[in-house]
Structure 1
Amino acid sequence: MNSTPDIIETRFGALLQYGLFSRRIYLMKMGEADPRKLPAQLDALARERGYTKIFAKLPKGSEGEFVANGYLVEASVPGFYRGETEALFPARYLDLARVESPDAAEIARIAELAPSKPAASQPPLSAEFTLRACTPDDVEEMAEIYREVFLSYPFPIHNPAWLLETMQSHIDYLDGLNVEMTDFATLPDFRGRNLALHLLAAMEAAMRRKGMRTAYTIARALSPGMNVTFAKAGCPFSSTLVNNTNISGGIESMNVWYKSLG
Structure 2
Amino acid sequence: MVEKWSNDSCTLEADVDLFSKRIRIINYEGDVCSFFPAILKEAKKHGIGKMIVFTKTTDRNALLERTFEPEGQIDGYFNGHDADVFVKYVKEDRRWLAQDQMLTELFSTPRIAEAQNASFKIRRAAASDAPGLADLYNCVFPVYPAPVSDPAYLKEAMGKGAVYYLAFDGEKVIASAGADVNPVLGNAEITDCAVLPEYRGFSLTRRLIAALETDLKQAGIFYVYSIARAASFGMNASLYHLSYSYRGRLLNNCLIYKTIENMNIWCKNLSRS
**For the superposition of Structure 1 and Structure 2, which TM-score range results when normalised by the shorter chain?**
0.5 to 0.7
Partner of 1:106: 98
Paired amino acid for 1:132: R
Partner of 1:118: 110
- Scaled by the length of structure 1, what TM-score is found? 0.59
SS of corresponding position for 2:243: coil
* Match 1:149 to one of 121, 126, 140: 140
Structure ID, larger Rg: 2
Alpha-carbon distance in 1 for matches of 2:126, 2:110 = 34
Paired amino acid for 1:112: T
Shift of 1:191: 0.4
Alignment of 1:108-257 (within 5 A): 108-123=100-115, 125-127=117-119, 129-169=120-160, 171=162, 172-257=181-266
Alpha-carbon distance in 1 for matches of 2:95, 2:142 = 19
Alpha-carbon distance in 1 for matches of 2:194, 2:257 = 12
Alpha-carbon distance in 2 for matches of 1:144, 1:224 = 24
Paired amino acid for 2:122: L
Q: 1:101 to 1:132 in 2, by over 3 A?
A: farther
Alpha-carbon distance in 2 for matches of 1:180, 1:214 = 9
Alpha-carbon distance in 1 for matches of 2:103, 2:93 = 15
Alpha-carbon distance in 2 for matches of 1:204, 1:142 = 20
Deviant stretches of 4+, over 4 Å: 100-103
Alpha-carbon distance in 1 for matches of 2:141, 2:222 = 29
Asked whether the equivalents of residues 239 and 266 of structure 2 are also in contact (C-alpha less than 8 Å), the reply is: yes
Alpha-carbon distance in 1 for matches of 2:95, 2:192 = 23
Alpha-carbon distance in 2 for matches of 1:157, 1:126 = 26
Partner of 1:64: none
Alpha-carbon distance in 1 for matches of 2:108, 2:130 = 36
Q: Deviations along 1:80-118, whole A, 9 cap, x unmatched?
A: xxxxxxxxxxxxxxxxxxxx9997111111221222332
Alpha-carbon distance in 2 for matches of 1:123, 1:183 = 20
Query: Identical aligned pairs, as a percentage?
Result: 33
SS of corresponding position for 2:104: helix
Alpha-carbon distance in 2 for matches of 1:101, 1:260 = 36
SS of corresponding position for 2:123: coil
Q: Deviations along 1:128-180, whole A, 9 cap, x unmatched?
A: x0110111111111111101111111111011110111111254541111110
SS of corresponding position for 1:132: strand
Asked whether the equivalents of residues 154 and 245 of structure 1 are also in contact (C-alpha less than 8 Å), the reply is: yes
Asked whether the equivalents of residues 151 and 248 of structure 1 are also in contact (C-alpha less than 8 Å), the reply is: yes
> Aligned residues, how many?
166
Gaps of 5+ in 1: 1-71, 75-99
Alpha-carbon distance in 1 for matches of 2:155, 2:105 = 37
Q: What RMSD in Å do the two structures reach over aligned CA positions?
A: 2.3
More strand by share: 2
Paired amino acid for 2:260: I
Alpha-carbon distance in 2 for matches of 1:222, 1:238 = 16
Asked whether the equivalents of residues 115 and 228 of structure 1 are also in contact (C-alpha less than 8 Å), the reply is: no
Q: Which has the higher contact order (CA 8 A, sep 6+)?
A: 1
Partner of 1:42: none
